[in-house]
Amino acid sequence: MESEVVSSYFSRENENQRASNEISDDFLHLVDELNNSLENIKLPRAIECIYNPTLYARQTFEIYIRKYCNTKKDIMYFGMNPGPWGMSQTGVPFGEIKSVRDWLGIDGPVNKPLNEIKNRPVQGFQCTRTEVCD
C-alpha cells in the first residue's frame, strides 16, 4: 500500500484555501526555524565560509516567497541554485539576476554574508556575472 505525503503547502481538491499571507508567513517561519537549527552544526575547519542568502538577502528572498509561495501547489520543487552568480546574489532560488529582476519582477537591496569569499563577492543586483554559459 502506498503512503501519501501530506503537507499544508500542497493543495487538495475541494479544500479551503488559507489566506495567502498565512501560507507565506508559515513558509518564512519554517525557513527561520531551519536557519536557527543550522547555527548548531559544527563544520570542519577546512570550510572557510558558508553563504546563506535566506539571511543576508532576506528582503528579496521574502519578496519572492510572498509573491510566489502564497497559494497551495500541486507540486513543489525543493532546492536552490548553488552557483555564485544566482541565488547567492539575489536571494531568489534558481534565480539568475536578469531573470529575477526582469521576469519575476523582484529587485531590492542585498547585504553581504558575514564571511565573504574574495573570488565570489556578493554584489546583489549590480552583479554582471551570469549563471548561463555562453
Q: Is residue 46 part of a domain?
A: yes
Q: Is residue 134 part of a domain?
A: no
Q: Is residue 11 part of a domain?
A: no
Q: Is residue 92 part of a domain?
A: yes
> 14's torsion region: left (phi>0), alpha (psi -120 to 50) or beta?
left
- How many domains are there within the chain? 1
22-37 tens-digit pLDDT: 999 999 999 999 999 9
Q: Is residue 6 part of a domain?
A: no
Determine the structural domain holding residue 81 and report its residue range. Answer: 20-126
d(CA 27, CA 25): 5
Choose among 4, 28, 8, 26: nearest CA to 16.
8
pTM, two decimal places: 0.78
Question: What's the mean pLDDT when you consider all of the chain?
Answer: 82
Pick the more confident residue, 23 or 13: 23
- CA-CA distances (angstroms) from residue 8 to 35, 40, 74? 20, 27, 11
Q: Is residue 2 part of a domain?
A: no
Give me the phi and psi of 90, to 5 degrees please: -110, -25
Q: Is residue 13 part of a domain?
A: no
Give me the phi and psi of 10, to 5 degrees please: -105, 145
103-131 tens-digit pLDDT: 999 999 999 998 998 888 999 999 998 87
Pick the more confident residue, 80 or 100: 100
| Residue 13, pLDDT score | 44
| Residue 17, pLDDT score | 46
| Residue 61, pLDDT score | 96
101: domain CATH number is: 3.40.470.10
pLDDT at 100 over 80: yes
User: In this structure, how many other beta carbons lie within 10 angstroms of the beta carbon of residue 50?
Assistant: 12
Q: Is residue 133 part of a domain?
A: no
Taking each continuous run of H as one helix and of E as one strand, the counts in the chain are: 5, 0
